[in-house]
Amino acid sequence: MPRIAVDERRDLLVEAAIRVMVRDGVAKATTRSIVAEAGMALAAFHYSFRSKQELLENVIGTITAHTLDLAVERLGAEGSVEHKVRAALDSYWQHLMANPGEHRVTYELTQYALRHPGLATVAKRQYEAYIEGASKLIDSLAHSSDVTWTVPVPVIARYLIAVMDGLTLLWLNEGDDAGARAALDLAGDHLISLIRMS
């Protein structure tokens, strides 16, 4: 009954959609379940968004931005380069263990998007944003400690993203805390071995 500006309604629906996806999965995030989560009538969906696809574009954009913000926050550690690398990995891992549903949703969303022609380009841009973010993170890590990498930054960036994605999936699917943690530490060793002191 209360009148809400369309822009605000859109934000509320995007947030509700993300909550439903985290709780029940992307497939269960139907227009009906989303408006129910937001406490709105079904028709509210379609005078806020032209289609479900338009909502999903916004959901993907919001989640990508959120993830990149978190990555930037992770840069704050003090001490040696080695310590900074470990701290960054630890910080990511802590966030994963505290918010598994959120991470699972990002994988579901890219897969969903890549199977739907209208969303495929959005998914690719999302991945490119991650790679660019990782590159900047790796670059500034070396600069802040006045060291260099023995391997080109774009290569390390892709390797970093692949390893973290893979370890995340491993833990989400297998559920073995100690096993995944040991593999993460091994990846950390490798990253540190790529640093050349100068």
Partner DNA sequence: GTCTATAGGAAGATAGAC
Partner DNA sequence: GTCTATCTTCCTATAGAC
Which position among 15, 19, 53, 100 is part of the footprint of DNA (CB under 7 A)?
Answer: 53
- 122: partner contacted, choices DNA, its own copies, none (Cβ within 5-8 A by kind): none
Closest CB 95 distance from its own copies, rounded Å: 17
Q: How far is the C-alpha of 57 from the C-alpha of 6, rounded, in Å?
A: 17
Give the integer Cα–Cα distance in Å for 192 and 178. 21
Q: Which does 5 bind (CB under 5 to 8 A by kind): its own copies, DNA, none?
A: DNA
d(CA 117, CA 1): 37
**Angle CA 124–183–139, to nearest 5:** 50
Among the listed residues 23, 32, 115, 190, the single contact to DNA using CB under 7 A:
32
169 binds, among its own copies, DNA, none (CB under 5 to 8 A by kind): its own copies
Q: Among 12, 13, 18, 44, which residue interacts with DNA (rule: CB under 7 A)?
A: 44
Task: Look at residue 72 and give the partner it binds from DNA, its own copies, none, a contact being a CB closer than 5 to 8 Å depending on partner kind.
Answer: none
Look at residues 52, 169, 15, 51 and name the one whose alpha carbon lies nearest to residue 106.
169
Are the C-beta atoms of residues 161 and 130 closer than 8 Å to each other?
yes
Q: How far is the CB of 48 from DNA (least distance, A)?
A: 8
